């Protein structure tokens, strides 16, 4: 299925006609396939993994999902479904020759990892769900809980622009950046270059179709996604990674860990949605401990 290899990087053909990009980093019996967030983001914000995982004897794979950065970007809205992305992950696994491997998913990638585990669990050694709750409606409820703590003037600005459908208004973008992104997405200022580039290269066509215009306005195709009732079916060892300042409720993520028979929780007290950047010491200590266990 592969097209070529170069320094660990290769294209893999999926759905018989599209190419997705992957890259292996490290060489170890402990193998981790990463699923980035978005949907429509890319692997770039995972680049900090290179400073921690290989040194700990862990091999991992970058993977840009279809429509993301180095992978093909077909103009076909019918492709952007949870089920198709889940089965794309299986095609990538087969092409990479991975079995009894660890699947790591962050944010949207965590949702995708849950979906993969529920259908293809026999291929997994373990699962990591980072910064992702088990339900989009729960995610929206928690975001609105955070929003109610914003200054009243900011809340009025957000409501005014949303009523007009003007999500690109400068005052709306400024409010989102100061009150949400800077406090709950990544608490470093300025953003590290890989984080900044990930936002720059986000594919809005996929993000808007599946999620909606932004974090507060979730109107896309996965808005009703909910897997709380199915978590007990995930029997492989599973690590749920939560953070105090995340856009996902820490309490809900703790509940997720308890619902999976072999689940456990890692908590980053200083982290946000991108805790691998703003609570690095705790994040990678807990992640590596789990991966090596």
H/E segment holding residue 108: helix 108-120
DSSP, collapsed to helix, strand or coil, labels residue 17 as coil
Nearest to 31 by CA among 5, 2, 62, 73: 62
Judge contact between 113 and 102, C-beta under 8 A: no
Q: β-strands 2-6, 18-25: how paired? A: unpaired
The answer to whether 262 touches 200, Cβ cutoff 8 Å, is: no
Residues annotated as part of the active site: 107, 246, 273
The dihedral built from the CA positions of residue 228, 271, 50 and 206, taken in this order, carries a sign that is positive
Angstrom distances, CA of residue 179 to CA of 148, 152, 187, 214, 275: 11, 12, 11, 14, 17
DSSP SS3 for 273:
coil
Answer whether 114's CB lies under 8 Å from 83's CB.
no
């Amino acid at each position: 299925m592969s097209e070529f290899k170069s320094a660990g990087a290769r294209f893999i053909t999926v759905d018989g006609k599209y190419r997705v990009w992957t890259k292996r980093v490290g060489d170890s019996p402990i193998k981790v396939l990463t699923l980035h967030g978005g949907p429509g983001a890319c692997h770039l914000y995972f680049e900090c993994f290179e400073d921690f995982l290989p040194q700990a004897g862990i091999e991992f794979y970058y993977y840009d999902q279809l429509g993301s950065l180095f992978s093909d970007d077909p103009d076909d809205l019918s492709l952007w479904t949870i089920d198709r992305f889940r089965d794309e992950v299986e095609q990538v696994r087969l092409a990479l020759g991975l079995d009894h491997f660890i699947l790591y998913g962050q944010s949207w990638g965590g949702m995708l990892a849950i979906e993969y585990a529920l259908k293809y669990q026999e291929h997994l050694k373990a699962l990591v769900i980072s910064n992702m709750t088990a339900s989009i409606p729960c995610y929206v409820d928690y975001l609105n809980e955070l929003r109610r703590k914003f200054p009243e003037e900011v809340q009025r600005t957000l409501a005014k622009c949303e009523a007009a459908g003007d999500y690109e208004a400068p005052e709306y973008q400024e409010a989102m950046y100061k009150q949400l992104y800077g406090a709950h997405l990544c608490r470093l200022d300025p953003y590290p270059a890989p984080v900044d580039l990930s936002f720059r290269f986000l594919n809005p066509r996929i993000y808007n179709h599946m999620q909606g215009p932004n974090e507060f306005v979730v109107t896309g195709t996965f808005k009703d996604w909910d897997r709380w009732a199915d978590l007990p079916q995930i029997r492989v060892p599973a690590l749920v990674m939560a953070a105090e300042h995340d856009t996902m409720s820490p309490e809900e993520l703790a509940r997720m860990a308890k619902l999976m028979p072999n689940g456990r929780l890692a908590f980053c007290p200083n982290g946000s949605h991108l805790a691998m950047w703003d609570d690095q010491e705790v994040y990678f200590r807990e992640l590596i401990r789990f991966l090596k266990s």
